[in-house]
Amino acid sequence: MKTTTGKVYLVGAGPGDPGLITVKGRECIETADVVIYDYLASPTLLRYVPEKAEQIYVGKKGGDHTLSQDGINQLLAEKALAGNVVTRLKGGDPFIFGRGGEEAEVLIDAGIPFEVVPGVTSAIAASAYAGIPLTHRDFTSTLAFVTGHEDPTKKESGIEWASLAKGIGTLVFFMGVKNLPHITRNLMTHGMAADTPVALIRWGTTPKQVSLTGTLENIVERVAAARLKAPAIIVVGGVVTLHERMRWFENRPLLGRRVVVTRARQQASDLVRQLTDMGADCLECPTINVIPPTDRAPLDAAIGRLADYDWIVFTSVNGVKFFFDRLFETGRDVRALHRLRTAAIGPVTAKRLRDFGLNSDIIPESYQAESVVAAFENEAVSGQKILLPRAQEARPILPVELDRMGATVDEVPVYRTVQADDNADLLVEGLKNGGIDMVTFTSSSTVRNFRALLPADEDLTALMKDVVVASIGPITSDTARELGFDVRITAEEFTIPGLCEAIRQYSEGE
């Protein structure tokens, strides 16, 4: 909401992992009228920007400045004086080589209220993610942060190299990759041992993180051989020797791999979180949207005569959600189901049902329609009425088999899936340039819609070359193979955790 005076929040976005932003930092994004953000601020954080808020990118990358610092200062003042709540989102911490102090001075001179929201600086976070504690009682209790961006052609350096070389146990240089030869030379010239351990950590805390170690004497050569470029921090000191023993982030099985998630966006969070925890760089490309059916009259009619049914069978979390959404919209509640017995396919569906206070009388051993049929073979369903609220385009096997057992089945559509094409351009571009490592499918509809997103004039085999296809179960895998995909991973347990476990086992076995 706009105020008469406006206000600016100088917010540290953290080092790259969006989970490292502070609670207050996220709140500032969520309540902003204008968000002005940097190159190093995670794009994921922009999801929290209000729909009506203005987003302005002012990134600086390798000398390519979208806007000069003076221009950014002027922009902050201009937006705040117009009465806006402005969140200035900066990578790392705004007051540690973030020029936040300069921005604060401009705001003070203009009489604009401001607050500083500290962020996790990359020096601390990237080192921790690389398994390098910056202080350790067996190595050092002193630490210094140093700019690595100083012009090496200056006649007199503003850095006390002698003090750094002899008086500080751990040094962390920011933005110093380009000046690495200058940095190492100065440290050795002023007395630091040539065999002092050095580490460079590129894109710290992100799925693209890479660490490279050496010594002052050989690190320049190693960096050149590895073609390691900015952004990276440089850590110098004995604590670097702990990297091999303590590294944890870079040991994850999917680190650095780009994995496409095709699940509907409103359901993708669990899959994205679990894949990210394994180190994946997830590209969310939902191929389906889940929406109400074209005609809700059959569902309304079924809800109106719930007392006539003996059973209600839920085949998915979506079925539960859309059924109860409509139940509540019609002015009823769960008491309308008090005499019905329930069945649910899979523990996730059963868990969602428990959220409404209902335990499932049947939870089949496996998570597909055939297992429900097997489970009902132990029930006397002949002559009983069964309500089956599910997808508009669901497979026919379940109602057919229940009907064969003598039950009367009312199959009622409670939702439908439609084609989505979010990030389709990024997907196709990634496939063409080899930037995609894996594609995940969680249903047959995600497979069909994914195939529809691909250019008809492109050879599928060439487009999917070296791309691992992972499927949530055999039915989804069969659909994928029918459409020409080479499925390498099929989950044994047809759930999101089961899919992720299958991916983990495959990746660790490569």
Which amino acids are annotated catalytic? 38, 60, 175
Q: Where are the beta strands (DSSP E) in 32-157?
A: 34-37, 54-57, 60-61, 64-65, 85-90, 114-117, 143-147
Return the DSSP state at 263: S
Q: Which pair of tokens denotes residue 15?
A: 């080092």
AA identity, residue 303: I
The answer to whether the beta carbons of residues 469 and 288 sit under 8 Å apart is no
AA identity, residue 455: P
Using the CB atoms, write b or e for 149-178: b if 16+ within 10 Å. Answer: ebeeeeeeeebebeebbeebbbbbbbbbbe
Q: Which pair of tokens denotes residue 431?
A: 């496939």
Q: Are strands 232-236 and 210-215 parallel, antiparallel or unpaired?
A: unpaired
Residues 6+ apart with CB under 8 A from 71: 58
Q: Which pair of tokens denotes residue 392?
A: 């508009």
Residue 408, classified by CB atoms within 10 Å of its CB into exposed (0-12), middle (13-18) or buried (19+), is middle
Q: Tell the residue number behind the tokens 């351990």, with chain if given.
A: 197
